[in-house]
Amino acid sequence: MMIKNNMFSRCLCIALLVSSIVPGCRREEPKNDPVTYGSSFSLTIYTDKAMYKPGEQVLFTLNKALAGNIKIRYRHFSETISEATLSGTNWSWTAPSADYTGYMVDLYEVADGKEKVHASIGVDVSSDWARFPRYGFLTNFSQLSDDEINKVVKNLSRHHINGLQYYDWLYKHHWPMAGTGAAPQSSWKEIANKDVYLSTLKTYIEKGHAANMKSMFYNLAFGALNDAAADGVNEEWYAFKDANHGTKDKHELPKPFFKSDIYVLDAGNTGWQNYIAAKNKDVYTALDFDGYHVDALGDRGSLYNFSGQSINQAATFKPFLEAMKAASPTKRLVMNAVNQYGQQTSISQSPVDFLYTEVWGPNERFEDLANIIRNNDFYGNNAKKTVLAAYLNYNKANNPGMFNTPAVLLADAVIFAFGGSHLELGEHMLGKEYFPNNNLQMSDELKTSLMSYYDFLVAYENLLRDGGSFNLPAISCTNGKLSLESWPAAAGKVAVQGKLIGNRQIFHLLNFSNANSTNWRDTDGTQLKPSLVEDAAIRFTATGAVKKIWLASPDADRGVARTLQFVQSGNDVSFTLPSILYWDMLVVEY
């Protein structure tokens, strides 16, 4: 869907929709079986939930038996909290009492004096998802079996996804719940004429809640279909392209694939706010959704209300969100700031759980991803975290194929290192703003790597997403194996971004040494894999007496931290970096 200034919204696909209906917007189910992400080709630990409340029981399951003198190790950062001996393939652990804390749990043994890590998993102990949001999506609400739903939820839970966006589940944008709250219909057709079953929605919500995942229903802030007048939508609530209310603004969709174009209302109009808030209460009566994922369409250009007054659409988002919160105070809100439209002065100042940005051109560089996250931190007074909807291999996703692993891992490394998370996982992985597009599949390498990346995001969330200040400390490689350069990313370099949090200086090393582009989207899937570099000699300038240096990487040792030997002479500190592939996190403790 083409928006002013080349912005797009993920609302329904639509700039390329005609060309991507075949083969891009197909209606069959994802070809990949989510339960096999990592489980059929490697030793994998599962937990029974995506996150845990303090003191809650964590149940672990190993996908196959492991022989030997195997130890279970529970860690926070590099410190071991406790250990136990592995016996069988199931065990439990009582989550510590500290809230909003990430842990790494690994299985290891010592053989010939060397430690070998066999498997690991992150554990997020948080009483509320908003502190460390990890957002996923669902698109298929046809008549699914419990087994089909369980597979999807199990996979998303294994990636610690703690919130789900239910995409295009709704009957009509202006009448989302088919029927009424007290008497909902058992099935209906959504905007693309696909079947939606009430039973499937109920089961997904139930299974998600059992795994401590929030369920958020998707809808625009201001959408109505062509039959809205018959359903009680007032002509005076619309947004118009002219001051004489002659032409309603609308988002055009190809027919007959879609039921109707989507007509744009004035989200600041209290009549519309009251109308849709009442319809939302029907949704909440019929379905146990946790809240409303509010979508937008980016900058629509000049708009006018029925009286001919100019509408500042971005400014309407805050009163709209406040009205939705007032109408349903216990329900959660998230809103899409399309390319940051409305984010700074409206959405970030509203009662949303976190800040959600769908990223489009010209924000195509890796540094743009980092800047959006840092700007959102500032807009939200460091109290609201960021989720980015950023679609990789965009043109490649027009046809069947495979995601380019280096593109995905480099983008996630940057997003995670700067404190964000990435909306990318559902029944399949996202390559387009039309979420049902499942043309691109994940290789076994990508599935295994991505699991490690999400474990890493959780285990070290208190360093990645929990405060601190970014800096650019002096650091160099003294044996020529790495060309280190301060952030932003540059092809042929390893970018260094520092962060100071408490008594810890963090160095994020992001490897662009083989990169053929610093464009994160990797539109055609041509980004190159970095070369593994081992035994790089590193020197940096310390600000005091160093107590400890440790390293953790999602690309090595299953993300488990390892302590490094170092030599300090005055403020000069040197050590050997064992290896780097995509991303290393060095932590210096003073």
All structural domains of the chain = 4-37+129-464 (3.20.20.80), 52-125 (2.60.40.10), 469-589 (2.60.40.1180)
Share of the chain above pLDDT 70, in %: 93
pLDDT tens digit sequence for 432-471: 999 999 999 999 999 999 999 999 999 999 999 999 999 9
* Residue 289, SS3 per DSSP: coil
pLDDT tens digit sequence for 370-384: 999 999 999 999 999
Residue closest to 387 by CA, chosen among 136, 34, 50: 136
- Of 28-32, 76-80, 442-446, 586-590, the least confident: 28-32
pLDDT band, very low/low/confident/very high, at 495 (cuts 50, 70, 90): very high
pLDDT band, very low/low/confident/very high, at 237 (cuts 50, 70, 90): very high
Residue closest to 43 by CA, chosen among 364, 448, 375: 448
- Whether the CA torsion 33, 35, 40, 42 is positive or negative: it is positive
101 Cβ contact list (under 8 Å, min separation 6)? 76, 125, 126, 461, 462
The C-alpha atoms of residue 75 and residue 446 are separated, in whole angstroms, by: 26
If one counts every other C-beta atom within 10 angstroms of the C-beta of residue 429, the result is: 23
The C-alpha atoms of residue 3 and residue 472 are separated, in whole angstroms, by: 37
Report the pLDDT value the prediction gives residue 49, as an integer from 0 to 100: 98
> Residues, the chain, total?
590
DSSP state of 399: S
DSSP per-residue codes, 308-335: SPEE-HHHHHHHHHHHHHHHSTTSEEEE
Omega before residue 34 within 30° of 0, cis: no
Are the CB atoms for 515 and 393 separated by under 8 Å?
no
Q: Mean per-residue pLDDT for 176-200?
A: 97
Backbone angles phi, psi at 274, to 5 degrees: -65, -40
Half-sphere exposure of 533 (CA within 13 A, CB side): 26
* Residue 587, SS3 per DSSP: strand
Report the pLDDT value the prediction gives residue 501, as an integer from 0 to 100: 98
Report the pLDDT value the prediction gives residue 494, as an integer from 0 to 100: 98
Report the pLDDT value the prediction gives residue 63, as an integer from 0 to 100: 96
The C-alpha atoms of residue 217 and residue 209 are separated, in whole angstroms, by: 14
Full 3-state SS string of 53-85 = CCCCEEEEEECCCCCCCCEEEEEECCEEEEEEE
Decide: residue 20, CB within 10 A, 0-12 exposed, 13-18 middle, 19+ buried: buried
Decide: residue 344, CB within 10 A, 0-12 exposed, 13-18 middle, 19+ buried: middle
The strands making up 420-422's β-sheet, listed across from edge to edge, are 135-138, 163-166, 214-220, 291-295, 332-338, 355-358, 386-389, 420-422
Report the pLDDT value the prediction gives residue 38, as an integer from 0 to 100: 38
Are the CB atoms for 275 and 238 separated by under 8 Å?
no
pLDDT tens digit sequence for 43-80: 999 999 999 999 999 999 999 999 999 999 999 999 99
The C-alpha atoms of residue 161 and residue 155 are separated, in whole angstroms, by: 9
Can you give the pTM of this predicted structure? 0.94
